[in-house]
Amino acid sequence: MKILLTAAGVFVIVIASGLLLLMWRCSVPSLNKLQRRFPAEQADLEIIVSMSDQDSQFTRIDPNWLMTADGYQYYWPGSPLSGTDSETAPMPTERWNQYRKLFSKDNISQGVERDTVSGDQFILVDSEGILDSGVSVGYVLCSLGAKHRYPPCVLGGDRGSQEYSENPRRDAYEYRHLTGRWYVYSEGPS
C-alpha cells in the first residue's frame, strides 16, 4: 500500500510539473523580451506593415485566416476552420505565403491587425486566454493620421499602462516606446 501511495504521489508531482512547464512555455512573451527582439526584427516588421498598407482591404491578416473590412473571414485552404464550403480567399496564396513566411521567421503567431479608420497597425506576436479575458502582445506602429486606435498612439510618451477595472470600465494595457512611431504593446484583459 505504501508503494502505491508513493507512486501516486510521484505521478501527481510529475503531472503538476508538466502542467506548470506547459503554462510557462505557453505564456506570452514579456514586453522586455519583445523590446530586446525588436532591433533584429524591425526590417521584417517594416515589410509586414508595408504589405499590409498595400492590402488595406484586410483588417486582419493571420497565418491561418483573413478578415476583410466588411467583416468577412476567409481561412487558409485546408485549415480545420475552413470546412468544406469555405470560399476562396480574396488574397492570392502566394501573397499570403509571403506574410506567413515573415510571421514564421519572427515567431508572430497572430498576424497583423490594421485599423481601417486610423491606419494604426498591431503586429500580434502572441496571445493567451479567450476573448475579453485574454492578453495580446506585440508591436504597434502608429499612423501619421490625426485619429488613432491604440493607447500608445493616442497618449504617446515613453511608456504607459492602465490596470483593468470593471467600474468604471477600463481595459488593461501597457506599452513602451521603441523608436520613431514603433511601440511594444500589451492589451487585455478587457
Nearest to 151 by CA among 129, 126, 125, 118: 118
Query: What number of other Cβ atoms are within 10 A of residue 33's Cβ?
Result: 13
Strand order of the β-sheet with 182-187 is 73-75, 65-68, 58-61, 112-114, 121-128, 135-141, 182-187, 173-179, 159-162
Note the pLDDT of residue 10.
43
Statement: residue 86 has pLDDT above 90: no
Q: For residue 85, what is the DSSP state?
A: S
Q: Which carries the bigger pLDDT value, residue 134 or residue 154?
A: 154
136 phi and psi, to 5 degrees?
-120, 140
Residues in the chain: 190
Nearest to 60 by CA among 47, 71, 44: 71
> pLDDT, tens digit, for every residue of 13-55?
434 333 333 333 358 999 999 999 999 999 999 999 999 999 9
Cα–Cα distances in angstroms (integers) from residue 149 to residues 88, 114, 152, in the given order: 30, 10, 9
Nearest to 184 by CA among 125, 131, 113, 127: 125
Measured over the CA atoms of residue 95, residue 144, residue 171 and residue 167, the dihedral's sign is negative
Strand partners, 182: 141, 179
Q: Which carries the bigger pLDDT value, residue 18 or residue 62?
A: 62
Q: Which carries the bigger pLDDT value, residue 165 or residue 159?
A: 159
> pLDDT, tens digit, for every residue of 96-132?
999 999 999 999 999 999 999 999 999 999 999 875 6
Does the pTM exceed 0.85? no
C-alpha cell at 113: 491587425
